[in-house]
Structure 1
Amino acid sequence: MAESRSFADTCIVSCGMLRPEVEHLVEEGFLDPYRLLYTAPGLHALPDKLEEQLSGRIRRARELCSSRGIIVIYGRKCYVNPEEPYKSVDSIISSQGEGIVRVQGEYGYDMLAGPEERSELSEGEPDKVLWFGAGWLEHWKTVYQRYLGWDKADANANFPGYYRKIIVLDGIGISNRYINEHPEEVLEIFDWTGLEVEFREITLDRFKGLLLEALGRAMEGR
């Protein structure tokens, strides 16, 4: 179990896709930031919007937390823009000045389960799995249908030939609600993607450890 330290002297800016896990850590008392701000979930599909919202939330955090550290919960690879190949999440953060640290993960799901755990969960084929966290269960339609504009034909062309299944990394106990209370929502994902949906329980210890590491860097930089 990750040790507990206070985040009260920080402001946190997080991707909205990780909101369920972040709010869970707030509820259990692990996270206690001075302010907590979110960007809309799924903006990796709209890189210009991602840059706009992430920059805006960081500026707002500056206003609210002028004497406090700022922690950004965003994956290193969550910004990809073919028109600006040298721009990244880190360069967007750096453009907002000093005193901002990012939680060290490649993607949101990488913060929940590291490479070794994902390899184990996927029986050695992590690249053949479409990894979901709790936020993806809520917002997959927004990403694929609204932002990317995919229809069922696009889903058929992109999912079954590349992925074997979807694994939902469940660190907040949502499996029972979806499997037993709302199975139709899981079936809808299966029908649209053509992929089996598998829930796997995990701890949030990796996420906590990465947050604590970021907290340490934020406090050192003050």
Structure 2
Amino acid sequence: MERFKKPLVISCGILRKEIEHLQRKGDIDVEAYFLSEKLHMDYNLLDRGLNCALKKHQKKSHRGIVVVYGDLCLGFNDEMKTLISKYDAVKVDALNCIDCLLGGKGNLLNLDPDHKILFLNPAFIEFGEKIREETKEWTRETYSMLDGIVLLDALGDLDDYQSKIDEIVERTGLPIIDRMDATFILPKHLSSQSQSERFWPDKSSRINTLNFKNYCQAN
């Protein structure tokens, strides 16, 4: 059986371009395995996909596995924590994929405590089939509770997506209120673990997601 000499990252495909960019730059030295971003549309499918990936790869990396998903990607009742605890793996400290691009540790809630912002990175821009498939009336009604859009730029290539960004703006009726340089959590996570020969799970630091959970249940 082939074994990886580097830490293995298992990540949502939403963050594929950012991770591969960091690999090319030499900012991170990892093997990477990506699950389809479309699994986000069904908790059960994502649960099965992550379980299969972890079972398949857990014996291949003697440096351990780093999971790049959010605490809430499987639901609001510690489903992700329960899944990760079954394996010799550690997960980055982030609420969801967008929080991963904001430095993690709940920074998403600091920037958007009232959940009024639509954050878009290149993958989310391309992943917006629902925005393009539904009628403009349905789309504007669906997004009417939001204040605007914040673009997250981790690759310096957002200008390449301008036509799709313009389409999202036009169909949602939301203005662009900011464009931010993304601060991806993964390099910092790997750096903090670099003194360890193995990426052992850290079960002591869990983010308090109560406010986010209560908001989502109320809406």
TM class by shorter chain equals 0.7 to 0.9
TM-score between the two structures when normalised by the length of structure 2: 0.75
* Alignment partner of 1:195 is 2:174: yes
Structure 1 match to 2:139: 155
> Which range is displaced more, 15-24 or 212-221?
212-221
CA distance in 2 between partners of 1:191 and 1:154 (Å): 13
Q: SS state of the match for residue 185, structure 1? A: helix
RMSD: 3.1
Structure 2 match to 1:21: 18
Task: Assess, with a 3 A threshold, how the Cα gap between structure 1 residues 59 and 91 changes in structure 2: closer, same or farther.
Answer: same
Q: Give how far 1:28 is off.
A: 0.5
**Unpaired stretches in structure 2, ≥5 consecutive residues:** 202-219
Q: SS state of the match for residue 37, structure 1? A: strand
Task: Report the count of equivalent residues.
Answer: 196
1:163-193 Cα shifts (integer Å, max 9, x gaps)? 1111111021012323xxxx32112112222
Contact 1:21 1:134 in 2 (8 A): no
CA distance in 2 between partners of 1:175 and 1:11 (Å): 28
Structure 1 match to 2:198: 219
Task: Assess, with a 3 A threshold, how the Cα gap between structure 1 residues 200 and 217 changes in structure 2: closer, same or farther.
Answer: farther
Structure 2 match to 1:4: none
**Unpaired stretches in structure 1, ≥5 consecutive residues:** 1-6
Task: Assess, with a 3 A threshold, how the Cα gap between structure 1 residues 51 and 118 changes in structure 2: closer, same or farther.
Answer: closer
Task: Assess, with a 3 A threshold, how the Cα gap between structure 1 residues 191 and 213 changes in structure 2: closer, same or farther.
Answer: same
* Alignment partner of 1:174 is 2:161: no
Structure 1 match to 2:29: 32
Contact 2:66 2:199 in 1 (8 A): no
CA distance in 1 between partners of 2:80 and 2:32 (Å): 19
Structure 2 match to 1:210: 189
Where is the helix percentage greater, Structure 1 or Structure 2?
1
Contact 2:152 2:179 in 1 (8 A): yes
Task: Assess, with a 3 A threshold, how the Cα gap between structure 1 residues 220 and 175 changes in structure 2: closer, same or farther.
Answer: closer
Structure 1 match to 2:66: 71
